Structure 1
């Protein structure tokens, strides 16, 4: 049997639909406290919150934030700190498909990069003081990253934008961040491809079917709880796999980190 760690306090972003909601339902049965994030006002997702509270013993806390605004990410981190002084598991699941046409966030960054990558890194950095050495950060990535490259000279995709390109390279950046920061963070950090999952996000970009959200949610929870997954690992569903060649390039990882910290500097405090 695969060993699991008992979760105490879990923060799960993008928890109100799809893979995130499926993962939340599983975690509600075992976590001590589960802080779920979404873009909706709380009354809109009241039925889900009621389901989570009925699913198990976890204290359920909801926090709204729109990752199109990095100020909201800072506010989310502050909300977490108001609720708890310890985060055992942070799951960065929130994501969006590549927009049909290139658009920028309210902060002026390419929107897919901001929601899928920059917001996750910023939230992680802001919550690091609450994560113990035994904690874990999980970046929910995608196997699409295997076909992507990230041009450090064009991080805003001004030269050649395509929805699938924007999505895949944001997921590549997440995996690269996990691999690099494994040597720098005291909590463990891993990235996971949850599977090809039938969600509106998938169908916004690809005319294919997929597995159920519960399948993807189970894979995310496995990445969060399995005690034998080493920091810096990339999981293809439940199997440790090699990430994209660019991710394995330490020079690229360091360059991406410098770029990321520069873009996030106004919000890092």
Structure 2
């Protein structure tokens, strides 16, 4: 009977499920890894809820880094952040594929393998979205002096972009809100950033922007409109470089979406 490991949609949950399947010596046809909330039940399957913990996560991470290499781990880590119900199966299938190769560290070159190809595609999508948000994210100063940035990504990219802004704004208090997955990256001036989940924030406080923010937002919006040349506007090119889904939280696009 096929065994399905059910886990949370987190790196700890996915790696814990992989740990259990790997320890039991399960091949691809003998098992599956399902994400809670994305589970599609099948007949003649045994479902097991995974007990996740940091020990399992770290053991799988060490295994991947040692036998598949750092680049493969980076691809797998990015793939685990994707909004895709089959990502855990693809990651496990990639690890099994690596085990059959003479040089397991070249597994990501074997794109003819469907699971390896899937991990590669998911990693590229997550990396691309994270790269875009590094440029499209706009902070606004709240009345308390905290910089707030709201985003609505398809994938769980907070852990990809937070280090970038921690390096750029090390002496600022800032908060990045992932509205899609209800997560926050919180940074206190001079300290390390932290990831916060399953917490509620007072929405009304997010609308209380400082006087300086109002002034500079108006100046920035006016500047962007002033430098625009109407006769040279190209909506199709704009859509290629700045898709509509990135625009609602951008200061210069306020009122245009």
Say whether the fold is shared (TM-score over 0.5). no
Which protein has greater RCO, CA pairs closer than 8 Å, 6+ apart? 1
Name the structure where helix makes up a greater proportion of residues: 2
Range class of TM-score, shorter chain: under 0.3
- TM-score normalised by structure 1 residue count: 0.25
- TM-score normalised by structure 2 residue count: 0.26
Bigger Rg, which one:
2
